Amino acid sequence: MKGHDLTTTVGSHRLKNPVIAAPGEHLIKPGGVMAAIHAGAGAVVVKSNNESSAAKAQLRAAEYVALDSNWNRIAWSPDTDPSATLLTRSGLHPLDFDGWLDNCVSQDRAARLNDCLLVPSLVLSQIDPAIRMAKQIEAAGLHVLEFNIGTPYASESARCAVATETAAHRVGMLTKCICDAVNIPVWVKLTGQSHEVPELAAAAVSAGAEATVIAGRLLGMVPDLATQKPFIGTSGGIGGYWNLPLTCHWLALSRAKLGPEKSIVGLNGAIGGADVARMMLAGAHAVGLSSAVMMRGFSVIEESIASLADYCTSHGMTAEELIGRAADARKSYEQMPELNDHWAGFVPDESS
């Protein structure tokens, strides 16, 4: 059966499967990266770094809350309902750049032995240091770079700690600076806090990005009824299963904008293998899992790969044959058939 073939391609890199361990606090220590590699991830994107001391201080003040469907705090544990909403205030890797890069090099050796792609990630603070660090990453022998210009936190962080780029011309300019500086492939991670995500993706690709990562978390705030203050004291990055439809929407529109040959990594809203399949159907070539792994453990990666394999086998398809099928079948409202009074079956009886 073809369904056992889970290989996929992101840019010039062939992955053994499309499940990517996306960055989070669970990948700060080397043991977390090794656990993701041994769980079978096709790629591991290490916790991001940059030159900003304020971005590291932000991690030391970080906070994490899981919320149920009534917006009440619930336990953060492997047994927590996977449909929990997560509200976090995160920061960047605590090591200085040189120590972080040394870790990346040793982790890359382990990844290669397990047919896994290790992806170092830089979050933009200022462009000149980012160029310098990108060149050092290439010189260290690493094969690919994620350039993250789509964190949710820039408006709430210290000045120049991290970046949330929402203008296409800025995305293009910054991407070109990095791509011109190195010869290794660059994946550009974009924000979801924009109504022009496909335009941002097009700007990144036109400037030399080999793949786009769509998309970073949204910024949100939830008041706590007991204290009458915000959970985690302020606004934070908010995510969960409910974000999958938003991500799939942007994936489909970005595929239409870029063309099917351009690689897109889906991110934000996937909590298991079925969601990996959904994002691939929407146009993703690979899909990142982060919060689900951080909360429930690295077995989520193994389970997601197995679930995706089962889905592909049951449909007699390879993973790559899933890519974009739903996106390409998507119609505009203008193309949808009229259903006369179909709407009347979806309102309360009192409305009659």
CATH of the domain at 257: 3.20.20.70
d(CA 103, CA 142): 12
**How much is the pTM?**
0.96
Residue where the block lists tokens 């995500």 = 197
What amino acid occupies position 307?
S
What amino acid occupies position 338?
E
The range of the structural domain enclosing residue 124 comes to: 2-351
Beta strands in 2-62 (DSSP E): 8-10, 13-15, 19-21, 43-45
DSSP, res 109: H
pLDDT at position 84: 94
Spell out the per-residue pLDDT of the chain, length 352, in tens. 465 799 999 999 999 999 999 999 999 999 999 999 999 999 999 999 999 888 888 889 899 999 999 999 999 999 999 999 999 988 889 999 999 999 999 999 999 999 999 999 999 999 999 999 999 999 999 999 999 999 988 777 767 678 889 999 999 999 999 999 999 999 999 999 999 999 999 999 999 999 999 999 999 999 999 999 999 999 999 989 999 999 999 999 999 999 999 999 999 999 999 999 999 999 999 999 999 999 999 999 999 999 999 999 999 999 999 999 999 999 999 999 999 999 999 999 998 7
What amino acid occupies position 321?
E
d(CA 333, CA 261): 26
Q: Which helix (H) or strand (E) holds 245?
A: helix 244-258
What amino acid occupies position 230?
P
What amino acid occupies position 76?
W
Q: Which candidate, 237, 306, 288, 287, places its Cα nearest to that of 89?
A: 237
> Residue 54 class from Cβ within 10 Å (0-12 exposed, 13-18 middle, 19+ buried)?
middle
pLDDT at position 1: 47
pLDDT at position 3: 58
d(CA 286, CA 280): 7
* Phi, psi values for residue 98, rounded to 5°: -65, -45
Report the number of distinct structural domains present in the chain: 1
Q: Name, in order, each residue with C-beta under 8 angstroms of 71's C-beta and a sequence gap of 6 or more.
A: 85, 222
> Dihedral of the CA atoms 266, 268, 272, 277 (nearest 10)?
-30
Is the CB of residue 44 less than 8 Å from the CB of residue 32?
Answer: no
